[in-house]
Amino acid sequence: DADVTQTPRNRITKTGKRIMLECSQTKGHDRMYWYRQDPGLGLQLIYYSFDVKDINKGEISDGYSVSRQAQAKFSLSLESAIPNQTALYFCATSVNRDGQPQHFGDGTRLSIL
């Protein structure tokens, strides 16, 4: 089984819909991250969490929200999806002492029509 699992892997939806992307990990890491990848732009940080009670905004948090349900689970929500949120979304984890994202899920490809 993968260390970091993202569901769904692909999603097509319509403008205005609420969408939740889920991430679970078996690494036992405290830090979890949500990134967005757009062609030619690399990865941009949406939200990150140091532990269950500590959630922080990243570079591009507008239009997104998150929930850290447990150490192993970190969900990303789009409250009212818009077409420019079409992208590839990644969840990642790390241990506190390293800081940088270490383990990534395989991504969720999200298309908003």
Partner 1 sequence: AQSVTQLGSHVSVSEGALVLLRCNYSSSVPPYLFWYVQYPNQGLQLLLKYTSAATLVKGINGFEAEFKKSETSFHLTKPSAHMSDAAEYFCAVSEGGGFKTIFGAGTRLFVKA
Q: Which residues make up the interface to partner 1 (CB under 8 A)? A: 4, 31, 40-45, 48, 50, 56, 58, 90, 92, 97-107
Which CB, 15 or 56, lies closer to partner 1?
56
Residue 9 token pair: 């892997």
Which CB, 82 or 88, lies closer to partner 1?
88
Question: Minimum distance between the CB of residue 77 and partner 1, rounded to whole angstroms?
Answer: 20
Which CB, 14 or 39, lies closer to partner 1?
39
Which CB, 54 or 79, lies closer to partner 1?
54
Question: Minimum distance between the CB of residue 59 and partner 1, rounded to whole angstroms?
Answer: 8
Angle 31-45-43 (CA atoms, 0-180°, nearest 5)? 115
The sign one gets for the Cα dihedral 47, 44, 108, 86 is: positive
Question: Minimum distance between the CB of residue 62 and partner 1, rounded to whole angstroms?
Answer: 17
Residue 35 has, within 13 A of its CA and on its CB side, a CA count of: 19
Question: Minimum distance between the CB of residue 86 and partner 1, rounded to whole angstroms?
Answer: 17
Q: Where are the beta strands (DSSP E) in 1-113?
A: 4-7, 10-13, 19-25, 31-38, 42-51, 54-57, 64-70, 73-78, 87-94, 103-104, 108-112
